[in-house]
Each structure stands twice: as C-alpha cells, then as structure tokens.
A and B are shown apart, each in its own frame.
Chain A
Amino acid sequence: DTAVSQTPKYLVTQMGNDKSIKCEQNLGHDTMYWYKQDSKKFLKIMFSYNNKELIINETVPNRFSPKSPDKAHLNLHINSLELGDSAVYFCASSPGGTYGYTFGSGTRLTVV
C-alpha cells in the first residue's frame, strides 16, 4: 500500500484554468504538507496543516489554497494558473514535531 499517494502524476493545462491535486496518506499522521519543487530542484514549503492549524508560507500566492476534508487528505487547489506555476508539487506527511517526512511521488504540473 502506498503511504502517501498523489493524483494525478502528470497535469498539463492552459493558463487561466483552475486545477486540483489530490493527496491521501494512510499512515495516520497528524500533519500534512505541500511542497513545490522548481526546475532547479529547490524544494519550497507552501503549506502545513493539521486538524488544528493551517500555516501558509507568506510567499505563496492566494491563488493556491489547501483543502482538507479529513485528517488523511490534503488537496491543493490552484486558481487562474500561470506559466510560473509549472513545477513538481509534492505532498508529504509526518506524525508532527521533528519526525521525518514521508513524501508522495509528486505531481508534475505543466502550464502552457
């Protein structure tokens, strides 16, 4: 069983569209995250979320919004997609605190 699963694996879409990426974890972890990895492989945290608190990195445009229907899911919704949004988006989870993160396999988003 995949611990952290993301769908879709690849997403190609036009500028201006709205899209969502889904993430599910079956590890029972309390905290989930979204990271963006650009073409230079720099991993930038976008959000962290548990059932108590959402932390948004201040540099993330408000076109990006996390949605968590329950503790095992943290979806990423993106409005009005721009060319610069093209990247690989990783979902991750952890038990919280200073434990290591378990990453999903990533979603490669290409905006044309």
Chain B
Amino acid sequence: GQQVMQIPQYQHVQEGEDFTTYCNSSTTLSNIQWYKQRPGGHPVFLIQLVKSGEVKKQKRLTFQFGEAKKNSSLHITATQTTDVGTYFCAAPTGNQFYFGTGTSLTVIP
C-alpha cells in the first residue's frame, strides 16, 4: 500500500504558538486528505488537496500540497486547546486511502 510518513510524531506547544505537521511520500500522489482525531474520538475529514502547489485555508488551519505532489503540510496558527488531537494525512492507492503515521498535538494552556 501507499507509504506516507508524517513528522513529527509528537508535538507539545504552548497555547498561542504555531504548529506544523508534514507528510511525505516517496511517490507522486494524485491527491491527499487530512483528518483530525480528538482524544478518544474518531478521525474526522478536514480537507482534500488535489492540485500541485495548492493552498487551502480553514480559519487558523492552512493546508499545502507540494509542487511535486509528494509532500503536504498542515499549519495551525495560534493554537488553542481545542486543537488538541492527532492529525493524519491520507493518500490513495486505488480506491483505498492509506493513512500516515499521524502527529499527536498537545496544547499547554
């Protein structure tokens, strides 16, 4: 299946600091999705990126797809305690999406 690596695995930030997680693939991706999983919860779809170099924003969240379509990033500006959770990227192979290893974000009030 598709192999996507995410870094960092864990991140602790003070509330108000920025946060970024990166997703990297060894192969070119047709598209990439991002999900958020709150502690004790289930993954929730955030966004899909399709075009090379695409940038999308959702309030304080900025998603980027690399020019070569082999990497992607999620950046959160001025984190809040509600941002706590694990963020996953997911890349397709056929009609299945393979999830990255995830980045667990802790926000310290």
Q: Which residues of A contact B (CB under 8 A)?
A: 31, 33, 35, 41-45, 48, 50, 55, 57, 90, 92, 96-106
Partner of B95, one of A42, A97, A103, A105: A97
- Nearest-CB distance from B13 to chain A (Å)? 18
Partner of A41, one of B48, B94, B104: B104
- Contact of B43 with A101 in the complex, beta carbons under 8 Å: yes
- Contact of A100 with B33 in the complex, beta carbons under 8 Å: yes
Given A43-B88, A98-B92, A103–B99 Cβ distance below 8 Å?
no
Q: How far is the CA of A50 from the CA of B95 in the complex (A)?
A: 10
CB-CB nearest in chain A for B100: A43
Q: Number of A-B pairs whose CB atoms are under 8 Å?
A: 58
Contacts of A50 in B (CB 8 A): 95
- Contact of B97 with A101 in the complex, beta carbons under 8 Å: yes
B72 within 8 Å of A (CB atoms): no
Cross-chain pairs A/B with CB under 8 angstroms, 16 sampled: A41-B104, A42-B101, A43-B102, A44-B99, A55-B96, A57-B1, A57-B96, A90-B42, A92-B43, A97-B95, A98-B48, A98-B92, A99-B48, A100-B45, A101-B35, A102-B45
Q: How far is the CA of A33 from the CA of B92 in the complex (A)?
A: 14
- Contact of A33 with B96 in the complex, beta carbons under 8 Å: yes
- Contact of A90 with B43 in the complex, beta carbons under 8 Å: yes
- Contact of B42 with A48 in the complex, beta carbons under 8 Å: no
B30 within 8 Å of A (CB atoms): yes
- Contact of B42 with A103 in the complex, beta carbons under 8 Å: yes
Contacts of B1 in A (CB 8 A): 45, 57
B86 within 8 Å of A (CB atoms): yes
B22-55 interface code vs A (CB 8 A; 1 in, 0 out): 0000000011010101000111110010100000
- Contact of B95 with A43 in the complex, beta carbons under 8 Å: no
- Nearest-CB distance from A34 to chain B (Å)? 11
Known: A90-B43, A101-B97. 15 other contacts (CB 8 A): A31-B95, A41-B102, A41-B104, A42-B99, A42-B101, A42-B102, A43-B99, A55-B96, A57-B1, A97-B95, A98-B48, A98-B92, A100-B35, A101-B43, A106-B42
Given A41-B86, A45-B1, A98-B31, A103–B44 Cβ distance below 8 Å?
yes
